[in-house]
Structure 1
Amino acid sequence: MAEYSNRQLQIIDTAIELIAEGGIQELTMKHLADRIGISEPAIYRHFKSKMEILEALQRLFAGEKSIFMKQMLKRDISAIEKIELIMKYHFTSFAAKPALAAVMFSEGIFQNDRRLASAVLAIMQQSGDALATIVREGQKASEIRNDIEPQHLVTIILGSLRLMVNRWHLHRYTFDLLEEGKVFIKSLKTLLNKGQ
Structure 2
Amino acid sequence: MPRLSAEDRKAQIIAQVLRLASEIGPDRMSTTDVARAVGISQPAVFRHFPTKGDLWLAVAENVAASLRERWKEAAGQALGPQSRLKGLIGAQLLAVAERPALPSLLFSRELTVDNPPLRKVFDHLLASFQSQLADSVTGMQTEGILRPDMAARDAAVLLTSTMQGVAIRWTLGNRCFDLVEEGRRLIDVQLTLMSVQARTLP
TM-score by length of 1: 0.84
1:172 is matched with 174
Is the Cα–Cα contact under 8 Å of residues 27 and 109 in structure 2 kept in the other structure? no
Q: 1:139 to 1:89 in 2, by over 3 A?
A: same
DSSP-derived class of the 2:112 partner = coil
Structure 2, gaps ≥5 residues long = 1-5
Which segment is superposed worse, 165-174 or 75-84? Answer: 75-84
Counterpart-to-counterpart distance in 2, 1:64 and 1:122: 14
What is the rounded CA distance, in whole Å, between the counterparts of 1:189 and 1:25 in structure 2? 36
Q: Is the 2:27–2:110 Cα contact (8 Å) retained in structure 1? A: no
Matches of 1:147 and 1:108 in 2, distance apart? 39
Which string of whole-angstrom CA distances, capped at 9 and with x for unpartnered residues, describes residues 137-195 of structure 1? 22122232212111111111000000000100000111121331342243233223233
- Aligned counterpart in structure 1 of residue 85 of structure 2, from 77, 83, 86: 83
In the other structure, the counterpart of 2:3 is: none
Who is 2:185 aligned against?
Answer: 183
Structure 1 residues not aligned, in runs of 5+: none
Give the one of 122, 142, 149 matched to 1:147. Answer: 149
SS in 2 for 1:111: helix
Is the 8 Å Cα contact of residues 67 and 92 (structure 2) preserved in structure 1?
no
**Structure of greater Rg:** 2
CA distance in 2, matches of 1:181, 1:106: 20
Measure, in 2, the Cα distance between the counterparts of 1:160 and 1:153.
Answer: 11
Separation of aligned partners in 1, 2:170 and 2:189:
18
Decide whether the 8 Å contact of 2:146 with 2:194 is kept in 1. Answer: yes
Match of residue 118 from structure 2: 116
163-172 vs 68-77, which moves further: 68-77
Per-residue deviation at 1:6? Answer: 3.3
CA RMSD after TM alignment = 2.3
Q: Report Cα offsets for 1:98-143 as digits up to 9, x if no partner.
A: 123322x326431223222222211111111111111112212223
Instruction: Find the aligned partners of 1:75 and 1:141 in 2 and give their Cα distance.
Output: 19
Whether the aligned pair in 2 keeps the contact of 1:23 and 1:109 (CA below 8 Å) is: no
The answer (yes or no) to whether the contact 1:92–1:178 under 8 Å persists in 2 is: yes
Whether the 8 Å contact between 2:78 and 2:84 is mirrored in structure 1 is no
Number of aligned residue pairs: 192
1:158 aligns with 2:160: yes
Contact kept, 8 Å, 1:168 with 1:174, in 2: the verdict is yes
**Aligned partners of 1:126, 1:77: CA distance in 2, in Å?**
21
Residue deviations 1:45-99, cap 9 Å, x none? 3222211111111111211222333455555522221111112112211222212
CA distance in 1, matches of 2:102, 2:78: 30
Q: More deviation in 180-189 or 86-95?
A: 180-189
Q: TM-score, normalised by structure 2?
A: 0.82
Query: Match for 2:165: what amino acid?
Result: L
**Which one scores higher on RCO, CA 8 angstroms, separation ≥ 6?**
1
Whole-Å Cα distance in 2 between the matches of residues 80 and 128 of structure 1?
15
